[in-house]
Amino acid sequence: MLKDHTEAPLPRKLIVEPTTRCNFQCRMCVKQSAGARIEEGDLSSRILDQCLEVMPGLDSLVFTGIGEPLLHEDIETFAAQARSRMPNGSRIGFQTNGKLLNRERSLSLFDSGVNTICVSVDSIEPALFNDIRTSDGFFDVNPVIESLGRNRAEVTAKKTGGDIRLGVEFVVMKQNLDQLPGLVRWAAQHQLDFIIVSHVVAYGKAFQDQAVFLNNSYESMAWFEIYRKKAEAAGMDLQEYSRMLWKYHKTEQETELYRLMDEFKRAAQDQGVYINPVHLFSEKKGAYDAVRTRFDHAEQLARQYGIELTLPRIRPKTNRRCDFIEEGAVFVTWDGQVSPCYFLWHQYEVMRAGNIKQVSPLYFGDLHQGTLGQIWQQRDYAEFRQKVIAYDYPNCHAWCDTRCDYVLQAPFYQDCYINDIPCCDCYWSLGLLNCLT
């Protein structure tokens, strides 16, 4: 049963897009993908004014989005407006590629009330960094980070900046996985506070093979091991299931293997674990250990150096969780559209099981026509949030070998459960993606 929408509190986290313009052309960015339909523009003061009423209740405000926030000349003005209304201990931050983050700009940001800066660093080797994050010229992020540290020390010494946190975001992929432990050492050398790691999203076919996360959950792999041993004890190999599945005339042993596999799937499903044979049989030996080794090493170093390290899951969650809805987040585009999450913020294409999925934005209001508080408390938005956290929708990643037209085509109307919320094929709720919020 849905709660009365009038009981919904105001948001606790606000993510605002200052601009969709950018001075980089990163190959893995949604903006560079063939299916992106993202108009360029800048946030106006009028849009931010419509958000001011929720500021006293915010835990955090983050300026980020498709573009580079520092291309907007009024970021400091926006931050100062927010800081004057937000409670003590709240965070104001932004995500940046760092190219425009010189001494003068960083000091003005700190002075305006910004107390969290996260720089995108996908490699500590300049050549690879520039291969991944293409700008209008060779860019070395090291001087930027060094300058940030000095400027923070200067502001802190004057006791004018409060608790300023500096960190980096790292998009992990096969191309840079080996560099993750070195990144932690590098972050410690530069006295950074945090590292956020997220898996790469394949917005085009070129990045499908770069992902290092695996398709099978820990729970499904545990069940697989139980029944692999059962099959082995009976002189059978579960891997043969795919070969004999569609045979019309099966041998006695093949029939027994089919029965055992059916028992396997039913036993797991009774415990809320869905078994996808295609995923199970296609997982390459050693793939998990290759990622786990790097992640464990990075975690060990982070503990040693006192750095807050946020890693994505290597295997997807069985029990999904939408952090955006659960933690009271709301997203505002540069032109004033109100969206519930990163996944549904813009129109673009993303790869799913070798298929191109069309993603349409989901908006619940326009800040040209109402305040953020009013839109947040609308019945349709409140009901959407309740439906999301009920988690009564399919898990396409776990269940499906491919994708059906329900989820591939846009606009989205319904899933195979006849739900009208487009959350069944979201990687955020599986724990595979992280971001600054």
Give the per-residue SS3 of the chain: CCCCHHHCCCCCEEEECCECCCCECCCCCHHHCCCCCCCCCECCHHHHHCCHHHHHHCCEEEECCCCCHHHCCCHHHHHHHHHCCCCCCCEEEEEECCCCCCHHHHHHHHHHCCCEEEEECCCCCHHHHHHHCCECCCCCCHHHHHHHHHHHHHHHHCCCCCCCEEEEEEEECCCCHHHHHHHHHHHHHCCCCEEEEEECCCCCHHHHHHCCCCCCCHHHHHHHHHHHHHHHHCCCCHHHHHHHCCCCCCCHHHHHHHHHHHHHHHHHHHCCCCCCHHHHHHCCCCHHHHHHHHHHHHHHHHHHHCCEEECCCCCCCCCCCCHHHHCCEEEECCCCEEECCCCCCCCEEEEECCEEEEECCCCCEECCCCCHHHHHCCHHHHHHHHHHHHCCCCCHHHHCCCCCHHHHCCCCCCCCCCCCCCCCCCCHHHCCCCCCC
108-131 per-position pLDDT tens digit: 999 999 999 999 999 988 888 888
- The confidence score (pLDDT) of residue 8 equals 61
Instruction: Give me the residue label for tokens 């069985």.
Output: 318
Closest CA to 167 of 297, 20, 62: 62
Query: What is the reported pTM?
Result: 0.94
Q: What is the pLDDT of residue 4?
A: 47
The stretch 13-18 carries a mean pLDDT of: 98
pLDDT computed for residue 135 by the predictor: 59
Position 25 scores a pLDDT of 87
Question: What are the tens digits of pLDDT across the range 271-322?
Answer: 999 889 889 999 999 999 999 999 999 999 999 999 999 999 999 999 999 9
* Pairing mode, strands 365-366 and 355-359: unpaired
Dihedrals φ, ψ of 350, to 5°?
A: -145, 150
